[in-house]
Amino acid sequence: MDKLIALSLVVIPFISIQSQDIRELKSALAFGVMLAIGLLSFYKGEIKQFSNKWALILVGFVWLNIMISPSSGVDLFGMQLMQFWSWKPFCYILAYIMGIIAISSQGKEFNTKLVLNTMVWAGTVMAGFTLFQGLGCDQFFRSNGMFHEQWNYSGTLGHPAFVGPFIAMIVPIALYLRKRLMASLMVISVLLIQSQVGIGAMILGLSFYFACKGRKQLMWVIVCLVVISGGTVALKHYQPDYVTSSGRIPAWVQIGKDIKAPLYEGKSEEGRTYGRYPITGRGLGSFYYTYHIIHRNKVYQAHNEYLEWAYNCGIIGLFMLLMAIFYIYKQNFLKNEYRTALLSSFTCAIICAGGIFYWQLGASALFTAIIVGLLHRKVEDVRNIIDNIQ
């Protein structure tokens, strides 16, 4: 199991096939890996009780959400396709929850050190590659665009906004493993990439990591955050085009309005008025297919996983998601440095999810899921690695 996970941590971030959309390729492979991890664990009879009830209830609710969400109104050869947009993400959710439960069920024989070291090496190689790209020497992975970000820093993920947050998530784990040189290289890479989401998430994730070490460290973290916040405000004042939301905030306001608005104005061809779905949502996966049509734009993701989840699964779905996240913090906060490091990486991930579609990217989703699985392992199964993992 640990070797399969380690292999996936190496392959999925870096794989690329000519003529293939690398986002779809990585997402499909990550789905296959999580499905394989779950099925392998079932085959070996390793599944243990999963303590995060909110996550399990959420999966059940998603099925109900699909059942009561409005139909797409699309037909093919006279056959109604109904909620066709829901089944692919639902399969992904099932595979990921299976994989997370399987990882959480692993015992003392599971090589946690191998998994964490592989994560750090993957982040380091990705960071080094972005620096290589900064020299203008890469001919295979290039990103074209506008705005102030360093578009040539795309790693093997296709965009600076994807690779910056991905690298940032791994920095706390590198520090925990005492791989300070690797951590430094990753920090430099994130700063050069200039992904505002990545930089902000890295700062807050590392702040959480150091603040949990003691009261003295907490005071220093507060001072540093105040200084950084002041510097950001000043930069925004003197360079307003540099620190910007890239149009996200107006879009988020509109999405918030859409959550409680009718799905479509007027009536459908069959004479039925489309209703409002703020409580249970418009249906899993519906945002990608409906939002850009309703508003006649090219916005296919909300660039905020929580708002998009509320759009798709309603207020109830968002509440359950936040409760599942809260449970992870409740079970792991201030337990030991190992759990603090993982929780810091998870903190970075959930912050990134508030600024981009982080969990719709294969590499980011895979790394987050593995960290979540490790955070759900029982205390007795990880006690032997606390002192010997470095």
Q: Write out the residue range of the structural domain in which residue 74 sits.
A: 70-88+111-361
Q: Over the chain, what is the mean pLDDT?
A: 87
**Residues 334 and 340 sit within 8 Å (Cβ to Cβ):** yes
Structure tokens at 118: 């592989």
Q: Does residue 50 lie within any of the structural domains?
A: no
Residue 126 inside a domain? The answer is yes
| Residue 383 one-letter amino acid | R
Contacts of 25 (CB under 8 A, 6+ apart): 15, 16, 17, 362
Residue 136 lies in a domain: yes
Residue 21 lies in a domain: no
First vs last C-alpha separation in the chain: 21
Q: How confident is the model at residue 231, as a pLDDT?
A: 85
Is the pLDDT at 269 greater than 80? The verdict is no
> What's the DSSP call for residue 273?
B
Residue 259 maps to a domain: yes
Select, from the ranges 76-90, 119-133, 231-245, the one with the highest average predicted confidence (pLDDT).
Answer: 119-133
Q: What is the pTM of this model?
A: 0.90
pLDDT band at 156 (very low <50, low <70, confident <90, very high): confident
Count the domains in the chain.
Answer: 1
Note the pLDDT tens digit of each residue in 164-193.
999 999 999 999 999 999 999 999 999 998
Give the number of other CB atoms < 10 A from CB of residue 51. Answer: 12
- Integer Cα distance of 247 and 209 in angstroms: 31
Helices vs strands, H then E, count in the chain: 15, 2
Structure tokens at 116: 């964490």
Query: pLDDT exceeding 70 applies to what percent of the chain?
Result: 90
Nearest to 142 by CA among 129, 132, 134, 151: 151
Give the tokens for residue 246: 């890239």
Q: Check if the beta carbon of residue 15 is closer than 8 Å to that of residue 26.
A: yes
- The torsion angles phi and psi of 295, rounded to 5 degrees, stand at -105, 5
In a domain, residue 294? The reply is: yes
* Helix H or strand E encompassing 171: helix 160-176
pLDDT at residue 146 in the model:
47
Ranges 37-46, 73-82, 94-103: which has the least confidence: 73-82
In a domain, 132, yes or no: yes
Q: Encode 296-306: b = buried (16+ Cβ within 10 Å), e = exposed.
A: eeebeebbbbb
**What are the φ/ψ torsions at residue 109 (nearest 5 degrees)?**
-75, -10
In a domain, 40, yes or no: no
pLDDT 10s digits, 307-364: 999 999 999 999 999 999 999 999 999 889 999 999 999 999 999 999 999 999 999 9
